[in-house]
Amino acid sequence: MEVVIVGAGVFGASLAWWLSREGENVTLVDQFEPGDERTSSGGESRLLRCSHGSDGEYTALARRARALWRELEEEARAELLLECGVAWFAHRDDGWETASEQTLTALAIPVERSAATELYPSFRSDDLAFVLLEPEGGVLRAQATVRALVAGAAARGARLVRARARPDGAAVVLDDGTRLGGDVVVWACGAWLGRLFGELVSIEATRQELLFFDGGEVWRDPRVPAWVDFDRGIYGTADVDALGVKAALDRDGPQVDPDHPLPTHATTDCDVRAYLRDRFPALERAPLVRMRPCRYELTPDTHFVAAPHPEHPSVWLLGGGSGHGFKHGPALAERVARALRGQEPLPSRFGLGARTRGRGMRTASF
C-alpha cells in the first residue's frame, strides 16, 4: 500500500512509524522539521496518563500507547518516557478522579490513593478530598519522541519530504507544484487541518502558555510526579531535564492563526503563581526561568478527528489532539491503520461534521 501522510506531528509521525513497521510504502510530508516548536507536537514534554474519568476507551488507548512508547524507546535506545507517576488532586469524593479510579481498576491499570506530602518537596492539601496516583504514568519528552518516530519510519524506508502542501481532490500538491498520490492520503496537519478542510471539521488553533520556574535541586528529583488539578484547570511537572518546574493553565487560550508567530509575553504568571501559593507554597516566589507559548488544536468536544473524506474515500483526516492527544499517538496510529485496511471501524465520535461543545478530556476548565 502506498501511503502519503501530510504532517509529521505526533499523529502523522506515529502513523508513518506504524505503517512502515508493517511494510507499507510511506511518504511523510511536513513544512517543518519533526518536533518543531511551531507545531502542536513540539516542545519539551507531555503527560502520559491513563485517567479519563469514566471513559474506558480513551483509558485503554492511553495504556496501549504506553506499551508502544516503550517499544519506541528500545528501538531508539533513548529514554523518552520518564516514569515518575502522575498525581490527580481531587476536590470531592464523587468527581473525575473517583470515576478515573474505578475505570483504571476495572482495566487492571495500577492506581492508588496517596499521601501527597510524601511525593512533593512542598505541598498543601487542606482543600483536597484525596490524591490519586498513577504510578506508571509520567512525562514524555515530546520533541525527542516525535523525532524518534520519524527516524524509525525513515529507517524502514519511509520517504521524508520537506514542503508545504495543499489538497487537490485526492492528491497532495506541494508548494513547488509537485503532485503526490497513493492508495491512501492522510492529512494529519494539526492546526492547519481546520483551515484546509474547514467545511468538514471544526478545529480552532489557540495560544497556550507554559511557565517554567526555578524550584531548586529538590524539584529535579526524577521521582517527583507530574500532577493535574482537574477542577481548577492546571497541570505541571517537576524540573525535567533542567528546564524548570513546569506549570500551565489548561483553559483555552485566545484563537490564533497557525501561520502567525505566537506572542512571547507571559499573561498567566499571576494566576499560575496564585495556584502555586495554594498548592506548592515554596514555589510561589520561585524565579520564572522562561515562558514558552504553544498551540492547541481544539475540536468543540475535545474528541479526535479520524475519518475518511466524504467525497474522496482514499483521503483521511486525522487530528484534533485537543491538548490531550499526544500521549495516544502510536496507539491511535495502530487503530487508524486497521481502519485504513477496512479491518476495524473507528469510534463514531471521531467522525467529521458538526460537534456539540462538551466537557473536556483535559480538565474541567476550557
Instruction: Assign 125 a pLDDT band (cuts: 50, 70, 90).
Output: very high
Q: Rounded to an integer, what distance in angstroms lies between the CA atom of residue 337 and that of residue 23?
A: 12
pTM of the predicted structure, to 2 decimals: 0.96
Assigned architecture for domain 2-350: 3-Layer(bba) Sandwich (3.50)
* String of DSSP letters for 100-147: HHHHHHHTT---EE--GGGTSSS---TT-SEEEEETT-EEEEHHHHHH
- Cα distances (Å, whole numbers) of residue 176 to 34, 52, 163, 266: 20, 43, 8, 38
Quote the percentage of the chain above a pLDDT of 90. 89
Tell me the pLDDT tens digit for each residue of 215-236. Answer: 999 999 999 999 999 999 999 9
What's the rounded mean pLDDT across residues 90-101?
Answer: 97
Query: Which of 119, 47, 128, 63 lies closest to 95 in space, CA to CA?
Result: 128
180 pLDDT more than 90: yes
Domain edges within the chain: 2-350
pLDDT value of position 115:
86
For residue 264, count CB atoms less than 10 angstroms from its CB and return exposed for 0-12, middle for 13-18, buried for 19 or more. exposed
pLDDT value of position 366:
46
365 pLDDT more than 70: no
Give residue 344's identity as a one-letter amino acid code. E
What's the rounded mean pLDDT across residues 151-177?
Answer: 97
pLDDT value of position 364:
65
